[in-house]
Amino acid sequence: MTDKLALGAMLFGTATDERRSFELLDRFVDAGGAWIDTANCYAFWEHPSGFGGQSEEVLGRWLARRPGVRDRVRISTKVGCEPTEAGRFPETAEGLSASVVANGIEGSLRRLGTDRVDLYWAHKPDPVTPLEETVAAFDKLVSAGLVGRLGGSNYPVWQVERARQIARAGGHTGFTAVQQHHTYLRPLPGTQPTVVHRFGEVSDEVVHYLEHNRDMALWAYTPLLSGRYTRADKPLPAEYDHAGTTRRLAVLDEVAAETGADRNQVVLAWLTGGDLAVTAIVGVSTVEQLDAAIAGVSLELTAEQRQRLDEAA
């Protein structure tokens, strides 16, 4: 499960209190989990201040109270989306200038109480800062030993590749991961999924790019549509109201019945067990939900079941 599942810590310290956050973190590590995903801006929209950092702070306190656990986990965090003025996001998002990147990692390391992060993400494209400046700034962090790998979140494919070209040309460390929204259901063409940034949806173009760049990993956020696969009180958004969804859900239910799993678990098995390497980021609020997610990434689908799921739409 180590690289198939990341524990999403977005709401730790805000909607999920510290006691429950620690409980989930302990259970995740005890079950063999390693990756924990957060960001410097989590969760500014949940906090009265209008600014983030609460998730990293909770993780820092958890690490401090669990001697030795830092060597058992890998921390993934991000920079670029923290608002510079409360209540004015995205227009005042911090961006990805050299100074923001340098100050961002300093703040994240301080809140986390660690000397390094294992994967550092550019959270979303910065329309103002040249890619050359951002790439060089991220490379400095790797050279200083503050960061292991680098990734781009919510980026269009052309900018991911352009950033990698700039890195290669300059002898810099480049992106080796992308983080985008990916799940089994597909929205209507031309619609913007409600849970993602403008370029945050995994498209066929993204998949094609990753298939031809095997050094790149895909991290999938909101893979379970915030509970909408299984909860009657959380209907699917309007962009999923089409015939393809009906067909996909029917096959999903068939495979769930055959495996004794639920829809969520089949979705996670489909995401993480295919030819393309995918790490599913799962945000949970109970240990039971976490255990179910762990069971999902451990579920092995047959080739025939996977083919039916792939061809349903």
Q: 125-159, pLDDT tens digit by residue? A: 999 999 999 999 999 999 999 999 999 999 999 99
Q: 282-302, pLDDT tens digit by residue? A: 999 999 999 999 999 999 999
Residue 133's alpha-carbon distances to 95, 138, 157, 188, 230, in angstroms, are: 12, 9, 19, 36, 44
What's the CA gap between 278 and 225, in Å, rounded?
Answer: 16
When comparing pLDDT for 4 and 196, which is higher? Answer: 4
Please check the confidence at residue 229 and state whether its pLDDT lies above 80. Answer: yes
What's the CA gap between 156 and 205, in Å, rounded?
Answer: 10
Q: Which of 61, 64, 54 is nearest to 16 (CA)?
A: 54
What domains can be seen in the chain, in order of their start residue? Answer: 5-234+263-301 (3.20.20.100)
In this prediction, residue 196 carries a pLDDT of 73
In this prediction, residue 195 carries a pLDDT of 66
Q: Which of 200, 178, 177, 175 is nearest to 187 (CA)?
A: 200
What's the CA gap between 91 and 115, in Å, rounded?
Answer: 31
| Helical (H) or strand (E) element with 61 | helix 54-64
113-129 mean pLDDT: 97
Q: Decide the pairing of beta strands 147-153 and 177-181.
A: parallel
Residue 79 contacts residue 100 (beta carbons within 8 Å): yes
What is the value of pTM for the model shown?
Answer: 0.96
What's the CA gap between 9 and 7, in Å, rounded?
Answer: 6
What's the CA gap between 33 and 28, in Å, rounded?
Answer: 5
